[in-house]
Amino acid sequence: MPSRTRGKLHLSKLYSFSCFRPDVLQSDSQHSLQGPGFSRVVYCNQPRLHRKKPFKYPTNSISTTKYNIITFLPKAIFEQFRRVANLYFLMAAILSLTPVSPFQPISMIAPLAFVVGLSMAKEALEDWRRFMQDMEVNSRKINMHKGDGVFSYKAWQKIRVGDVVKVEKDQFFPADLLLLSSSYDDGICYVETMNLDGETNLKVKRSLEVTLPLDDDAAFKDFTGTIRCEDPNPTLYTFVGNFEYERQVYALDPNQILLRDSKLRNTTYVYGVVIFTGHDTKVMQNSTKSPSKRSTIERKLDSIIYVLFTLLVLISLISSIGFAVKIKYGMPDWWYMRPEASTSMYNPEKPETAGILHLITALILYGYLIPISLYVSIEVVKVLQASFINKDLLMFDEESGNPAQARTSNLNEDLGQVDTILSDKTGTLTCNQMDFLKCSIAGTAYGVGSSEVEIAAAKQLASDFNGQNSGASTPMHNRPQLSMEIRRSNLGDSEIELESIATPKSEKQQNHMIKGFSFVDSRLMDGNWLKEPDANVILLFFRILAVCHTAIPEPNETGSFNYEAESPDEASFLVAAREFGFEFCKRTQSSVFVQERYSSSGDFVQREFKILNLLEFSSKRKRMSVIVQDEDGQILLMCKGADSIILDRLSKTGRLYEAETRRHLTEYGEAGLRTLAVAYKKLEDLEYHAWNSEFQKAKTTLGSDREAVLERVSDMIEKDLILVGATAVEDKLQKGVPQCIDKLAQAGLKIWVLTGDKMETAINIGFACSLLRQGMKQIQITTMDTDILARDANKVVKENILMQITNGSQMVKLEKDPHAAFALIIDGRTLEYALEDDMKHLFLSLAVGCASVICCRVSPKQKALVTRLVKEGTGKTTLAIGDGANDVGMIQEADIGVGISGVEGMQAVMASDFSISQFRFLERLLVVHGHWCYKRVAQMVGLLFLLQEYCLWAHPVLLRSICWIFGSVGL
């Protein structure tokens, strides 16, 4: 393969400061990693060295099975006899082998063998499926270096630590790799981590600059190097190590690491060296076995068995004592009971022995009190019910082709007993497909379309208006936040205003054909923005949308472009910029090209923006900035991010539109839209070069404080900004979600939504999906702002939250209207205090008294903690539903876990007990299948146990009692 031509300006000046490759070359003594947790040594391109002690690294073969050929029998038998019923039946089968058994042993052993064998066969089948999945993964092919610069395809399971592999586009990485080079000139590549963290957005990885010449197969003929790094651990986002190459040492960070099960996207190929294999990889270190869950009825049956076994022993003891007494005192007088050679069973001289032997006989004889056929019937019903769920066409999603799936049959009947549903929002209630709906530019709001929240609010207002006409009234504080147009209207002309905010049907149909773009406003479309008073600001706004990103354009069959972006929000911005006439069309190693169209004539002007630096978005920074040089030589910093961050970084002269923009941001949030603020800054050459010099030093810093230094340097340039405007995108609700939630609420189920959105957005989404309803009283618990010293602030905040919880509880208790409903809204920061041991029970008491609960700004860990609190605190059946990796903890913690098989990977599905493709199918899963199975199982537990099985037990007892009566009277 020929070497690639490299430009003088690498893309290293384009991507995140956290991704910059250090150029520092220092001695090994200064950067050697020593001590516990940093003992990994990898000899690159020398895999045989790791097969000897002290290394002995594992192979790349993985196994997720529960059993193997050797351990299946002992493990499976142990699992079966952990059940109280099976343990009892085993004891009865052993007793049936004794000479005093009134039955043939086969009559006791056969049913037990059938029940245990059936369950073991089911376990074996499920484990066989896992084994076949493992074999499929282990047998995948990868191009691996076998020596002398020659690569050949081998199975994943043959990969060893130190091997050099070549991964091609759309292939999964077979192990954790150190990125050496890629098809791009400066060694970047794009990675999809959906199978790791549930995120569909692409991430940028980059190699060290020193390994860029390793750009073809022949270059690896004499390649060697040594990696010293951390030991295997489950942390996905950290990596500490050094790379010793050509007698120099280079620091490694997570941006050079390609993790197993992530996929290479938008990059032709990459070369990498294997660091961790098999179960040492980070994805396998993160894999956890799903907890063993048992249904409520099964747990209750265990309790019943304890009671019945106690009753059985009591009856057998009474019978045995009576038998011993009769043998001692009555048998000598019975002429017909005088055998010549009496056995121990009928020896008047040893009545104690006779009683003990009779106890064994009685335990077996009365053993029908605990019916084994009941368990057989329940297992059959559960298996059949699971097949009904899998084949239900009314839960089959034609769009995705995904059916509902019962991943276990142990919990079917619990679906009919669910008391509380805990749900994720994004991707579960919503589609996770962003549509550009509105924007604010130069203090002017654009976009006349209505979000689903605004439509719901309009219906609410119309309902309130009709209610007032009929004499009913609704307190104003119970109404949802309305859009600007609705709030400005009065009740007298509300119908006119509601009609005016609706989007024209023709325009709406036209815009819905463009994925990611639902904007409707003729003032900006077709070049009409040139007639606006602040056309120059609008021009800058569109350019920021088209330039400030990390996306890659891909031509499609229509002659336009599809965008592979790091987030759906960013993709919607690019689609919007294209529709406004600013089409991002090309990215090179050093520039971004935008085709600009200033009028409806259709004439395009292609402009080049040289990328000098890009400071990437992160959850901590909550913003991203790109430093570019336009065709006139002007250096600009373009920035977009959370409004709370951007507005605090404005200069005194850059706040011209701040008041109007803040008002628009509030209105967009109330309309359930996701917002970002947009700003810019002009940089002088001297200012930029002085900052860039500091930045170059910071990016070559080694040590634990490197990120802090980079953050500090970035703050130096991301200040004194000039506000341009704000964007508002909508994440639409999934089809049928409001109707589903409404019916579940009518059935008495409590619904909790755990989301990362801010409170205003979550509240209005709640109204849109019927989680919050007309007349429902809201209880909002938030953390107060305090300027008290840090040591006292924590105590003051806790006392304030405790007071809010107490007041809310009193409000619920003192409510006299039996039909009144309450909704609790709490944010993540407040939830940290509410989940502490001294407050969590008070919080739970308030929450269970509310019909709906919304937790905003919550982390994945908080989702799991809330689920555990509800499950353990109420003692009732909980169901958690989610679609991404951040929902796994919540799904596994709940009594029943339901995964959405959507676009956020398979982690939620793999961790779940049931999977569906859309939230609306949850209604049928619970109401139809759950109720049917619960009803059938309850009938068997009740009728079969109390009637059928009781009769089977009563027959021999009555017969034996009659014999005793006849014997006693001498007949």
Which residue ranges make up the annotated binding site for ATP? 424-426, 570, 617, 640, 674, 755-757, 857, 863, 886-887
CA 694 to chain centre: 40
Task: Map tokens 């023709």 to a residue.
Answer: 506
Which phi and psi (to 5°) does residue 400 adopt? -95, -15
Binding site, by residue number, is 424-426, 570, 617, 640, 674, 755-757, 857, 863, 883, 886-887
* H helix or E strand, kind and range, residue 117: helix 106-138
- Identify residue 142 by its one-letter amino acid code: I
What single DSSP character describes residue 402? B
Q: Select from 790, 621, 805 the least CA-distant residue to 718.
A: 621
Strand arrangement of the beta sheet that strand 430-441 belongs to: 444-446, 430-441, 722-733, 674-683, 635-641, 623-629, 605-615, 591-596, 582-587
Which phi and psi (to 5°) does residue 685 adopt? -55, -45
| Residue 907 near residue 382, CB atoms below 8 Å | no
| Cα-Cα-Cα-Cα dihedral sign, residues 140, 143, 145, 146 | positive
Rounded Cα distance between 90 and 36, Å, is: 49
Q: Select from 705, 708, 711, 715 the least CA-distant residue to 251.
A: 705
Question: What are the structure tokens assigned to 159, written together?
Answer: 């990969």
Q: Count the residues in the chain.
A: 971
Beta strands in 199-329, from DSSP E residues, in sequence order:
202-206, 225-229, 241-245, 248-252, 257-258, 263-265, 269-276
| Cα-Cα-Cα-Cα dihedral sign, residues 173, 178, 182, 188 | positive
Q: How many CB atoms lie within 10 A of CB 165?
A: 24
Choosing from 424, 464, 731, 827, the catalytic residue is 424
DSSP helix/strand/coil, 945: helix
Q: Select from 854, 867, 850, 859 the least CA-distant residue to 825.
A: 854
Binding site for Mg(2+), by residue number, is 424, 426, 883, 887
CA 615 to chain centre: 28
Q: Select from 96, 28, 56 the least CA-distant residue to 242.
A: 28
Find the Cα–Cα–Cα–Cα dihedral 572, 573, 577, 579, rounded to 10°. 20
- Identify residue 205 by its one-letter amino acid code: K
- What is the DSSP code string of 574-623? HHHHHHTTEEEEEE-SSEEEEEE--STT---EEEEEEEEEEE---TTT-E
424 is catalytic: yes
| Residue 590 near residue 11, CB atoms below 8 Å | yes
The answer for residues whose C-beta is within 8 angstroms of residue 113's C-beta and 6 or more apart is none
The answer for residues whose C-beta is within 8 angstroms of residue 594's C-beta and 6 or more apart is 543, 546, 547, 577, 582, 583, 584, 585, 606, 607, 609
Rounded Cα distance between 923 and 895, Å, is: 17
Question: What are the structure tokens assigned to 424, written together?
Answer: 């994720």
| Residue 790 near residue 739, CB atoms below 8 Å | no
| Residue 196 near residue 885, CB atoms below 8 Å | yes
28-55 burial code (b ≥16 CB/10 A, e <16) = eeebeeeeeebebbbbbbbbeebeeeee
| Residue 245 near residue 210, CB atoms below 8 Å | yes
- The angle at the Cα of 524, spanning 523 to 526, to the nearest 5 degrees, equals 105
DSSP helix/strand/coil, 554: strand
Which residues belong to the active site?
A: 424
